[in-house]
Structure 1
Amino acid sequence: MDFALSPDLLELRDRARAVAAEGVARFGRHNDSWINGYSKEFAQVMAGEGWIGMGWPKEYGGQARPPIERLIVAEEMITAGAPVAAMWFADRQMGPTLIAYGTEQQKAAYLPKMLSGEATWCIGMSEPDAGSDLVSISTRAVRDGSDFVIEGRKIWTSFGHVADYCYLICRTGDDGPPHRGISEIVVPMDSPGIEVHPITDMISNRHFCEIFFTGVRVPAGNLVGTEGDAFKQTMAQLAHERGGIDRLVSNRALFHHACARADRQDRRVRQQIARLESEYRVGRLLVYREAMGQAPTNFSAATKAFCTEHEQRVARFAATQLGPDALLDSPWTRGICYSPGYTIMGGTSNVMRNILGERVLGLPSAPRLPTAKTP
């Protein structure tokens, strides 16, 4: 098979590479830049290039470009560490979800500001007692006339402190099996009753947030899709999220830096470099297959597990090649320290293996254990 890019795709790649380099020069390089590199200004640069909503239908302001074009742009941005975080969730998840399940009024209200890079979105999914276990969420929205009233708490909500909107996964009913009664609601983050607490991680990033919802009122028209039947919508979002290029190249710059420092006269080091480069190319083919719609249903779980575990192996390799410098505070060592997060965000590797076993391979499900509650 010929995996070479066509001339027009090479031209797009070169343009994306140049814009990414300019973004890094202006706003700095960021490890895992799709979640750590927040810049509204650079989001509007992306919009000006036509690189937000590249694959969205034209009737909603998108360009209906092939999925591989978005992938090429995203790969160059994140590999370089360009700050794409302000527009990433909207482009990757919220826009496509609203196009698929939202009303025409919702599309008209929210999509234009996504496409212009003006609006930042966060996703209210995980909770203190329900991390990777979506069906155990307890944040609740109760219908009161023409409004929903929201009570609850979310955690690990990236950009909650700067987002304009929260795409909230909540419970609106208890009838039937646990996955029933889950709904998705758009919540403006300036609504009364919302309290946001940023969480500082071990390398001083502050995109993680804990959000408290106390008597928050939003119009019933903010419900996305069918009330109580949003579990499959959320699963579709996660499948798209888990199989993306961001799960492979978030520390690609760290790999290049480590290779430049490595003693390539040592055949053992050359073997490590060859193995990591081979893994990268395998992961890249997995991601491209996801983007082209050629992967089996739910196989994004396998793609995410393989790619994020590769990113951790890159970080371990970098730590050995930097030697004593790995103990100094620098963007490179912060990238090494950040690496445990790769296999946690978007679902742990154990959860990915369960999905792969149950939904792809058809293995019997493990018995469901009671959820431990924190005081």
Structure 2
Amino acid sequence: MDFAWSPEQIELREQARQVAADAVERFGRHNDSWINGFSKDFAKEMAALGWIGLTWPTEFGGQGRPPVDRLIIGEELIAAGAPIAAMWFADRQMGPTLIAYGRDDQQAEFLPGMLSGDTTWCIGMSEPNAGSDLASLVTSARRDGDEWVINGQKIWTSFGDVADYIYLICRTSSDGPPHQGISEIIVPMDTPGIEVRPIKDMTTNQHFCEVFFTDVRVPLPNLVGVEGNAFKQTMRQLEHERGGIDRLVSNRALFQLACDRADTSDPRVRQEIARLESAYRIGRILVTREVLGQAPTGFSAATKCFCTEHEIEVAEFVARVYGADATVWNDVVHGLLYAPGYTIMGGTSNIMRNILGERVLGLPREPRA
């Protein structure tokens, strides 16, 4: 198999590298920048380049470019720490979901704002008692005339305090198995009855938020897809979320800093750098298979598991290289403290292994005692 990049792809990568470097110069470098680096201004610059909706079909306002082009651009932007968070969820997840499941009027209303970088979206999935097990969610939406009335709570909702819309996963029926009765509804964040409480973590980030819904009313047409049968839609969203380049290169910049600082006269250090670089390249192959649609259904769980655990190993290497300096607060240490989140966000590694074993490999469940 030929793993070489085409001349056009090499040129695109160089362009993306220059754009990323310029963005870091103006907006600063951000660890895990697709979730920590928030800039509406840069989102609009991305839109002007045509880099939002790059792979979306042209009839929906996208560029219709190959998925590998988005991988190249995303890799360079995230590896450098450019602030792409204001547009990333919409580009990665919400836009493709609306294209796949939304009605014509929904696509016409919401896609242009995503493509222009004007609207930021958050995702209302996890709840205090329904993290990786989304089928346990209880946030409800009941019909009342021509409106949905929403009550409940979401947690770990990134950008809940700055988003224009929340793409809400909720329960519209309690009948049948837990996976049934789940629906997806678009809710403007300025709707009365919504309360957002940012959560500050130990790195001082506060993009995670609690979102409370108290008799929040939105029109019935804000439902996306089939009422009560959206669990498959949500799982498709998670395929977009778990198998992307953002799960591999979030702390790539720290790795480069550590390589520059490391004592490479020590063969053990050289061996560790080689091992991490090899793992990075394996992860890129896994991600490439995902974006090209060559991976088995559900295999994004394995891709996320491998890539995010690699990021943890990178963080441990960086900490060893920096030694005592890794105890002094700066942007490098910020990235090291953030590292435990890599294997939690988007589903824990334990859950990913369960998905891989049960849904991909078809392994039997261990009988309970």
Aligned residue in 2 for 1:320: 320
Aligned residue in 1 for 2:35: 35
Aligned residue in 2 for 1:132: 132
Q: 1:212 to 1:19 in 2, by over 3 A?
A: same
Kindly provide the CA deviation profile for residues 40-99 of structure 1, in whole angstroms up to 9, marking residues without a partner as x: 000001001000001111111001110000110000000000000000000000000000
- Structure 1 counterpart SS, 2:186: strand
Q: CA deviation at 1:368?
A: 9.1
- Structure 2 counterpart SS, 1:221: helix
d(CA) in 2 for partners of 1:77, 1:125: 26
d(CA) in 2 for partners of 1:27, 1:68: 26
Kindly provide the CA deviation profile for residues 16-61 of structure 1, in whole angstroms up to 9, marking residues without a partner as x: 1111111111110000000000000000010010000011111110
Aligned residue in 1 for 2:105: 105
d(CA) in 2 for partners of 1:102, 1:121: 16
Aligned residue in 1 for 2:114: 114
The amino acid that maps onto 2:81 is: G
Q: CA deviation at 1:195?
A: 0.2
d(CA) in 2 for partners of 1:79, 1:348: 23
d(CA) in 2 for partners of 1:121, 1:365: 37
- Structure 1 counterpart SS, 2:177: coil
For residues 1-375 of structure 1, the aligned pairs below 5 Å read 1-365=1-365
The amino acid that maps onto 1:352 is: M
Q: CA deviation at 1:175?
A: 1.4
The amino acid that maps onto 1:323 is: G
- Structure 2 counterpart SS, 1:184: strand
**Moved segments of 4+, more than 6 Å:** none
- Structure 2 counterpart SS, 1:151: strand
The amino acid that maps onto 2:223 is: L
Aligned residue in 2 for 1:373: none
Q: CA RMSD in A?
A: 1.0
The amino acid that maps onto 1:101 is: Y
- How many residue pairs get matched? 369
Q: CA deviation at 1:366?
A: 5.2
The amino acid that maps onto 1:182 is: I
Q: CA deviation at 1:301?
A: 0.2
The amino acid that maps onto 1:55 is: T
Q: Please list every run of 5 or more consecutive structure 2 residues that lacks an aligned counterpart in the other structure.
A: none
d(CA) in 2 for partners of 1:105, 1:368: 49
TM-score normalised per structure 2: 0.99
Q: 1:366 to 1:27 in 2, by over 3 A?
A: farther
- Structure 1 counterpart SS, 2:55: coil
d(CA) in 1 for partners of 2:279, 2:44: 34
Q: CA deviation at 1:13?
A: 0.7
Q: CA deviation at 1:365?
A: 3.2
Q: Which segment is superposed worse, 357-366 or 101-110?
A: 357-366
- Structure 2 counterpart SS, 1:143: strand
Q: Which segment is superposed worse, 157-166 or 358-367?
A: 358-367
The amino acid that maps onto 1:124 is: G
Identity percentage of aligned residues = 71
Q: 1:306 to 1:197 in 2, by over 3 A?
A: same
Q: Which segment is superposed worse, 187-196 or 11-20?
A: 11-20
d(CA) in 2 for partners of 1:328, 1:40: 31
Q: 1:37 to 1:368 in 2, by over 3 A?
A: farther
